[in-house]
């Protein structure tokens, strides 16, 4: 229908349909777990393990599952924790990475090449490598079980530095020179002139960062013992162990609730996100 309306020639029509068929299959794979989560969240408990692969629930149990999830688990608490952690990490990441990336992209100073090589090297080190030393240090200072412990390893994002450096490099030098002639200092040039034109890249990175840390289970599990500080995934884990046992319907209802904000954020920033990714040439 779509294809017919925009009247494509037959060769292009087949390519159009073929491409979209492939994309649809990919999308189905991505969406199926979410769909199943949603379906499980609205099923009755007896149906979950016995219902087979039948997608349509025989009896709807949505209200019960969602109220149970809201009542039994401090979901709101988990989500507030998630917001605090994600916001804290993101703000510091941007404050650190943007000036660093600007210096690497636009300022001439000795050792720049070496520093950039170090950034590239940093991209190759996963969090698991420094996890133990960071844990020991936090324990030494008595900082375990705090928001700070959950955020500190991620304050410095080499990925952000790399991404922003690629973006800033394309910014015309002439405009920087004009700003210098007009009397702006380097920091003002960065925040007033360069950053506003790099908003798509910043939005793209923000989504990466928020999704990664909202969903992060590994690091919070290491440093957090008390449920008060738990971000959503860790909270769900505590919740699954202690309260619900095998009540998958309630568990999935909880999972649905904590996933919803991410989906919303992505939908809101989708256009910027795509711009940012295509602009920097990182696909």
Partner 1 sequence: MENSLELAGITKAFGRTGVLADIDLAVQPGEFLSLVGPSGCGKSTLLRIIAGLEHQDAGQVRIAGRVVDRLSPRARNIAMVFQNYALYPHMSASENIALPLKVDRLSLAERLPLLRYLSPRRPRIERDIVEEVGKVAEALQIEPLLARKPGQLSGGQRQRVALARAMVRQPSLFLMDEPLSNLDAQLRVHMRDELTDLHRRLGATFIYVTHDQIEAMTMSSRIAMLDGGQLAQIGSPAELYERPASLVVARFIGSPAINILPARLDASGSVLVGNLPAGLVVPGRIAGPVSLGLRPEHVRLHAVCERPMPMATIRRSEHHGADRLLHLDLVEDRKAGLIVRIPQDDSGRYQPGETYGIGFAPEKAHLFDGDGMRMAVTGTAPARIGAAA
Three-state DSSP string of 8-44: CCHHHHHHHHHHHHHHHHHHHHHHHHHHHHHHHHCEC
**Comparison of 47 and 186: residue with beta carbon closer to partner 1:** 186
Residue 279 interacting with partner 1 (CB under 8 A): no
Among 72, 146, 166, 197, binds partner 1 (CB under 8 A): 197
137 vs 223: CA distance, rounded Å: 11
Residue 15 sits in the site that holds partner 1 (CB under 8 A): no
Considering only 8, 62, 83, 184, the residue that binds partner 1 (CB under 8 A) is 184
> Looking only at residues 73 through 112 of this chain, which bind partner 1 when binding is defined by CB under 8 A?
none
Site string for partner 1, 134-173 (x = CB under 8 A): --------------------------------------x-
The least CB distance from residue 43 to partner 1, in Å, is 50
CB of 180 or CB of 226, closer to partner 1 = 180
End-to-end CA distance of the chain: 30
Does residue 52 interact with partner 1 by CB under 8 A?
no
Both tokens of 273, joined, read 């996100």
* Candidate residues 112, 188, 246, 268; the one interacting with partner 1 per rule CB under 8 A: 188
Assess contact for 276 and 203: CB atoms under 8 A: yes
CB of 280 to partner 1, least distance (A): 17
Residue 162 C-beta: closest distance to partner 1, Å: 23
Residues 6+ apart with CB under 8 A from 256: 37, 38, 41, 66
Q: What are phi and psi of 245, to 5 degrees?
A: 60, -115
Name the residue among 126, 105, 121, 99 with its Cα closest to residue 219.
126
Interface positions with partner 1 (CB under 8 A): 172, 174-175, 177-185, 188, 193, 196-197
């Amino acid at each position: 229908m779509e294809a017919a309306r925009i009247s494509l020639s037959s060769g292009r029509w087949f390519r159009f349909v073929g491409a979209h068929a492939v994309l649809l299959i990919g999308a189905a794979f991505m969406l199926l777990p979410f769909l199943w989560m949603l379906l499980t969240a609205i099923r009755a408990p007896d149906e979950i393990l016995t219902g087979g692969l039948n997608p349509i629930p025989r009896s709807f149990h949505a209200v019960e599952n969602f109220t149970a999830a809201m009542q039994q688990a401090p979901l709101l608490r988990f989500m507030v924790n998630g917001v605090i952690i994600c916001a804290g990490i993101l703000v510091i990441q941007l404050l650190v990475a943007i000036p660093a990336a600007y210096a690497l992209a636009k300022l001439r100073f000795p050792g720049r090449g070496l520093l950039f090589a170090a950034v590239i090297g940093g991209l190759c080190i996963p969090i698991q490598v420094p996890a133990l030393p960071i844990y020991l240090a936090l324990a030494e200072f008595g900082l375990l079980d705090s928001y700070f412990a959950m955020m500190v390893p991620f304050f410095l994002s080499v990925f952000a530095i790399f991404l922003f450096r690629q973006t800033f490099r394309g910014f015309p030098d002439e405009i920087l020179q004009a700003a210098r002639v007009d009397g702006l200092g380097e920091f003002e040039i960065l925040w007033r002139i360069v950053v506003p034109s790099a908003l798509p890249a910043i939005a793209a990175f923000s989504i990466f960062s928020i999704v990664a840390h909202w969903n992060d289970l590994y690091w919070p599990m290491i440093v957090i013992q008390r449920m008060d500080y738990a971000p959503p995934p860790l909270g769900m884990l505590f919740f699954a162990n202690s309260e619900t046992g095998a009540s998958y319907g309630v568990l999935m209802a909880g999972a649905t609730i904590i996933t919803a904000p991410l989906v919303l954020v992505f939908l809101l920033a989708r256009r910027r996100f795509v711009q940012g990714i295509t602009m920097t040439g990182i696909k």
